[in-house]
Structure 1
Amino acid sequence: MSRKSNADALADVVSPPIGDLALLPAPVAKIRDKILAACETGDVEALRIPIDWNETRPLFARSGAFKAGTDPIEILKALSFDRKGRETISLIRAIFAQPYVKIMRGPTTLYEWPAFTRQPGPPANDRDAVARWRCVRFGDLSRANAEGKPRATRIGIASDGVWHYFWSED
């Protein structure tokens, strides 16, 4: 009998893309709606409410690019090409307009947008290609990921409604 290693036990199990928002757990749907409602104001400062809903702040970069205690809205402004957060708002809206995937990692379940970042292959058509490019920060346009695809920005929310991350691929 073979035993699974810890790495195998924690390997991500990723669903096919899901477009039906009714399949989201209520806490995930609620925080997604809060984030989108904040974006509808057109003011990045409104994102402070869904950010502060978390016990801990979502991560905005995979690396330690931002020091602990840094104001999250200032981080979002700094990540935005216009330095005012309008690009951030546009990205969030574009990302949440895409299908998502359900990721099971050990006992943790995450919902991640956009689904195409976890799926191999090129876009199915021109409309899908344009939708993918809308999920890429201006600052990331000239850099591809390890697979040669655009470095899309991702949003991850746990099944309990905790917003875990909003970051570009490294």
Structure 2
Amino acid sequence: MIRKPKGVAIADVVSPPIGDLALLPAPVARIRDKILAACETGDVEALRIPIDWNETRPLFAKSGAFRAGTDPIEILKALSFDRKGRETISLIRAIFAQPYVKIMRGPTTLYEWPAFARHPEPPANNEEALARWRCVRFDDLARSNAEGKPRATRIGIASDGVWHYFWSED
């Protein structure tokens, strides 16, 4: 077993963008499908099922803005510009329509959407640019990330099918 020296971070190994959903591990494909099926209902409450599939809830903010024990659906509604969760549903659909990346971090493998959040190449055309903007929360439109790019909302799912996060960049 390889041990890293104390205080040394393990660097992420990030794949190029991947568009082929057939390459996803079965547990990742299953939770992605569950999340999208919940979105198809048009009711943010339906996301409770894929959220509760996890032993622990997915994180909805990197900064810990929401305290533990808060209802996840109420968090998603609060994060949604309309306060009803419709923006959340639209974001999830737009994000999962994008290519993804495979991220290896030590022994952990994550699949993250959208790939352009990790690979910020310019969009190929106007259609691709619009599709990327659909992955940005309304509240994040006025703020950019450290590179001056839109703050894309990301979804991360581990190779074992655990939904880890659904958040905007900090």
Q: TM-score range by the shorter chain?
A: over 0.9
Alpha-carbon distance in structure 2 between the residues aligned to 1:120 and 1:136: 14
1:121 CA displacement: 2.6
1:8 CA displacement: 6.0
Structure 1 pair 82–108 and aligned structure 2 pair: CA distance change class (3 A) = same
Output the TM-score relative to the length of structure 2.
0.95
Deviation string 1:50-89 (CA, Å, 9 cap, x unpaired) is 0000000000000120010000000000000000000000
1:33 counterpart = 2:33: yes
Deviation string 1:28-59 (CA, Å, 9 cap, x unpaired) is 00000000000000000000000000000000
Deviation string 1:62-120 (CA, Å, 9 cap, x unpaired) is 01200100000000000000000000000000000000000000000000000000003
Partner residue, 2:89: 89
Alpha-carbon distance in structure 1 between the residues aligned to 2:148 and 2:35: 30
1:106 counterpart = 2:106: yes
1:68 counterpart = 2:86: no
Q: Which amino acid aligns with 2:121?
A: G
The question of whether the paired residues in 2 share the 8 Å contact of 1:9 and 1:106 is answered with no
Q: Which amino acid aligns with 1:61?
A: A
SS of 1:103's partner is strand
Equivalent residues, number? 168
Partner residue, 1:166: 166
1:12 counterpart = 2:9: no
Output the TM-score relative to the length of structure 1.
0.95
Alpha-carbon distance in structure 1 between the residues aligned to 2:114 and 2:8: 25
Matches within 5 A, 1:147-166: 147-166=147-166
1:132 counterpart = 2:132: yes
- What fraction of aligned residue pairs are identical, expressed as a percent? 89
Structure 1 pair 94–7 and aligned structure 2 pair: CA distance change class (3 A) = farther
What is the RMSD of the two structures over their aligned residues, measured on CA atoms? 1.4
